[in-house]
Amino acid sequence: MTTEHMPGLASETIGIWVAAGSRDESRETAGSTHFLEHMLFKGTATKDARTIAAAFDKTGGDSNAITAKELTCYYSRCLVTDLADITSLLVDMVSNSNLDAEEFARERGVIIEELAMSADDPGDVLFDDFDELIFGDHPLARPVGATKDQIRMLDHNTLLEHYSSTYVPPRLVIAAAGGATHDEVVTMVEEALNEANSGSGPRSWAESTGADASAGGADADGRGARETPTFHSGRSHTYKDNEQLGILLGCEGLEEGHEDRFIYSVLLTMLGGGMSSRLFQSVREDRGLAYAVSCMASQFTDFGTFGIYAGCAPENGQSVVDLALAEWDRLAQEEPSRAELDAIVSQLSGSMVLGLESSAARMNRLARSEIFGVPLESPLDLIERVRSVTSAQVSAMAGQLMERPKSLSLVGPTTDIALP
C-alpha cells in the first residue's frame, strides 16, 4: 500500500491495482482480465449492481476501472469525507465479487458490443493491428479485450479460475493520493480489509493488511514468468472505406523504467510531442498534409515500442511517411540547437509539474512505481533529470532507433505506401 498527502485538497483518489493484464492470459483465458473488470461492478455478497452504482454516483466524483496489457485498476476520486465508504466499496468489489453466472451471460453481450464499437474506430484498429504485426504470436499481440469470437467462447468457470489465481496478494496494490493523511488512509483501508476478510467471498487479504505491504512480491513471484517479446518488422493494411488513411510507423523502443527514459521523453516531445514539434511543423504547418501527426510510445516491463502516428488523405500517405522518416533522420544526423532543447525541457518540466497537481495522476504514479519497481522521484528531481539531457544524447538515441527494423501499419482506403 502506498499513499501521498496533498495538503489543502478536499478530495482523494484511491485505486486498487492488480499487477496483471491481458498479457498474463493464455489463449484459453483471453479476454478474462477485461471481462473481470466489468463483472466486479455487478454485485458482491452484500451489494447488487444498482447499489454499487448508486454508491459511486452519490459522491459526485469520478469512478471507473481500466484494463491494460500489464495492469488492471479500480479507482474512485471522491471527497475525503466519502473516502471511508468508497474504500470499503472498492475492497468489497475486489474481495467478494459474486461473479454470478447469469450476470456473466448478460455481460457477455455488453462486452461484444464494446468490441464492435472499437472495431468501428479506425484509431483503435490501427494500434491493435500494429501490436499484432510487431509482436507476432506473443500475448502482447492480442487486443486487451480479446476478440468477439474469444468472448463468445469464454467459459464462466474459466473466468472464476482466472479471478482466483490473479486477484490475490502479492499482485494487489492499494494506492491513494489527496487530502487525507497517510495514517487516515491506512486506518480506512485496514477497516475495509478486516470487513472483507470476515465476509463470505473467496478472497483473503490477510497477507497484505499491513500498512507497509507493497507490490515488491508481485514482481518477484506474483505474476509468474513472462516471455520477453521480439520485434517483428513488416507491413499490414486493414482496408476500410474511410475518408482518411491511418498510419503508424515504428520500431522497438525502451521498456518501462529504462535508465535513458528522460532522453527518450525529450526525443518524443521534440520530434512529435506538440504543436511546435518537428513533425507537426513539417507535416501539418509547412505542407498541410495531415491534421494529426505525433509520436507515441508503449512501455512494458521488458519491452517498448516507438512510433509515429498520422492521419491523412490516402494520396498523401507516401509523402507523410517520407517526411516522418526524414525528420527522424535529421534529428539523428544533426544535434538540436541549445535553444530548441531548452524549449523542450521547459515544455516537459511544465507538463510534469502541472500533471502532478492532479490527485489521480499522483495515485497513478505511486501505483506504477510500486508495480514496476521504478524509483519514485520528487517533481524537482524529475525536472533536474530532464534538464541533464544533452543535445548529443537526443541525437544519438534518434540514430539508435533509426537503425532498428521498422514496421508500418495502415488502416483505410487502398493505397500503395512503401518504407524507403
Q: How many residues does the chain have?
A: 420
- 37 flagged as catalytic: yes
What angle is formed at CA 383 by the lines to CA 382 and CA 384, rounded to 5 degrees? 90
> What CA–CA distances, in Å, run from 274 to 47, 85, 266?
46, 41, 12
Quickly list H helices, 11-155: 32-39, 49-57, 83-96, 101-119, 122-135, 148-153
**170 secondary structure, DSSP code:** T
Catalytic residue among 37, 107, 252, 370: 37
Sequence-distant contacts of 75-79: CB under 8 A, at least 24 apart: 75/13, 75/14, 75/15, 75/16, 75/360, 75/363, 76/13, 76/14, 76/15, 77/11, 77/12, 77/13, 77/178, 77/359, 77/360, 78/11, 78/12, 78/14, 79/10, 79/11, 79/12
Q: How many C-beta atoms surround the C-beta of residue 316 within 10 A?
A: 20
Number of Cβ within a 10 Å radius of residue 53: 14
Of 298, 207, 318, the residue nearest 253 (C-alpha): 298
User: Which residues have a catalytic role annotated?
Assistant: 37
